[in-house]
Amino acid sequence: MTTRRELLAAGAAITAAAWSGEAFAQSLPRKSKMGIGSASLGAYSRGREGAADSVAVVEYCRSLGAGGLQFSPSGDLARVRRRLEELEMWVEGNARLPSRLSDDTAAFEKSLLDAKAVGASVVRAVSRSPQGFSGRRYESFKSLEEFEAWQAEANAIVLKCLPIAEKIGVKIALENHKDRLVDDHVAFLKATSSEYLGALVDPGNNLALLEQPVEVCTKLAPYALACSMKDMGVALYEDGFLLSEVLFGDGVADQAALFKILNSHNKINPVEELITRDPLKVPCLTDAYWVSMPKDRRARDQARHMAWVRTKASKLPYVDQLTPEGRLQAEADNHRRTLEWWTAKVG
């Protein structure tokens, strides 16, 4: 098992040389219009003590070619903002919604104030899963009724927080996070009808709920305030299919076409969230997967989706067997290549 000490040493060894001022400026690659979501910086965050320094995170993303980033700023926020402006990078924030309706909103309010202080006008938000669970609907809930009770409270939490966003002047982009089906997400946003609440659209997430990226993007586009673009690869396994973030152009969906759909209503920043990890298992051939879904969905979607997987199946990347240095290098290479792809294909 890799120790914390080994991870820190690995990250420091790979990245330490990049941060001296003059050397950093001279080594910068061409800047993409696309930014990086901090959720995809797992190896970097685990591998460097300096990853807690928001200025270091900004500089790291710029060193990979990013034109912006989506993260939770901390520390000297004026310094963070100055560095973003010096590097001419845009920024979006992250907001941590309360877990329960009875919880206070102080941490949520602070996250919006911090985001605004560094120049962000929108924050990514995810409805919190039950304690101890992943947030993936098919792993977290044992019945449709249990899920619907969670969803009702999750929506009520967002509505409780919305006046805070309106007061501060920062918009909430609520992510489709392997929880709500796209029609439920749209229904909530449509019923709320506030300019300070919209969607963060992740074209890959709802594949785990057997919903296609074009459908998800088309339905959520009128509400899109932010995105987490990711191409996905699929492969068969005994209980269903494997789902993995892959390099743009290697997966099942045209990221440029999907972003064009999302950007057709509201002008949003392109953010890539390619998480460098082993594939996720989506056990859609098991009974347990379906217990939190509407009753008719299995008969309608299971066979159709698995037939689609068989036509799209490919070899997927695995990284857990790599050393800490190898995982950090693979993650950095994935980001560089994804940003370069975006610049070449989209501009």
**pLDDT tens by residue, 67-83:** 999 999 999 999 999 99
Is 329 inside a domain boundary?
Answer: yes
- The C-alpha atoms of residue 211 and residue 138 are separated, in whole angstroms, by 14
The CA distances from residue 23 to 17, 63, 339, in Å, are: 8, 11, 22
Residue length of the chain: 347
What pLDDT, on the 0 to 100 scale, is given for residue 255? 97
Answer yes or no: is pLDDT of 52 > 90: no
- Tell me the average pLDDT across 27-42: 95
Answer yes or no: is pLDDT of 57 > 70: yes
- Tell me the average pLDDT across 143-151: 97
Phi, psi of 121 (to 5 degrees): -115, 0
Is 297 inside a domain boundary?
Answer: no
CB-based contact 208:177 (threshold 8 Å): no
Which one-letter amino acid corresponds to residue 151? Answer: Q
- Residue carrying structure tokens 């690869």: 233
Is 240 inside a domain boundary?
Answer: no
Q: Which one, of 243, 169, 272, 254, lies nearest residue 217 by Cα?
A: 254
How sure is the predictor about 129, in pLDDT bands with cuts at 50, 70 and 90?
Answer: confident
| DSSP element (H, E) containing 64 | helix 54-64
The pLDDT tens digits of the residues spanning 188-247 come to: 999 998 999 999 999 999 999 999 999 999 999 999 999 999 999 999 999 999 999 999
What pLDDT, on the 0 to 100 scale, is given for residue 24? 64
Q: Give the HSE-up count for residue 199: Cα atoms under 13 Å, Cβ half-sphere.
A: 29
Q: Indicate the SS3 state at residue 307.
A: helix
What pLDDT, on the 0 to 100 scale, is given for residue 130? 85
Q: Residue 139 sits in which domain range?
A: 4-231+251-278+321-345
Number of domains in the chain: 1
Is 128 inside a domain boundary?
Answer: yes
Is 309 inside a domain boundary?
Answer: no
- The C-alpha atoms of residue 206 and residue 137 are separated, in whole angstroms, by 10
- Tell me the average pLDDT across 248-254: 96
Query: Is the pTM value of this prediction over 0.75?
Result: yes
- Residue carrying structure tokens 């500089």: 59
What pLDDT, on the 0 to 100 scale, is given for residue 131? 83
Instruction: Report the CATH number at residue 10.
Output: 3.20.20.150
How sure is the predictor about 19, in pLDDT bands with cuts at 50, 70 and 90?
Answer: very low
CB-based contact 272:254 (threshold 8 Å): no
- The C-alpha atoms of residue 231 and residue 341 are separated, in whole angstroms, by 12
Answer yes or no: is pLDDT of 338 > 60: yes
- The C-alpha atoms of residue 100 and residue 169 are separated, in whole angstroms, by 24
- Tell me the average pLDDT across 297-305: 96
How sure is the predictor about 8, in pLDDT bands with cuts at 50, 70 and 90?
Answer: very low
- Tell me the average pLDDT across 38-61: 86
Let me know the angle formed at the C-alpha of 60 by 57 and 64, rounded to the nearest 5 degrees. Answer: 140
How sure is the predictor about 50, in pLDDT bands with cuts at 50, 70 and 90?
Answer: low
Mean pLDDT over each residue of the chain, to the nearest integer:
92
As beta bridge partners, residue 200 has: 175, 226
Is 219 inside a domain boundary?
Answer: yes
Is 286 inside a domain boundary?
Answer: no
Residue 340 CB neighbours (<10 A): 17
The pLDDT tens digits of the residues spanning 102-112 come to: 999 999 999 99
The pLDDT tens digits of the residues spanning 260-279 come to: 999 999 999 999 999 999 99
Is 40 inside a domain boundary?
Answer: yes
Helix residue spans in 128-237 (DSSP H) = 137-140, 144-168, 182-192, 213-220
What pLDDT, on the 0 to 100 scale, is given for residue 212? 97
| DSSP element (H, E) containing 174 | strand 171-175
Which one-letter amino acid corresponds to residue 343? Answer: T
Answer yes or no: is pLDDT of 54 > 60: yes
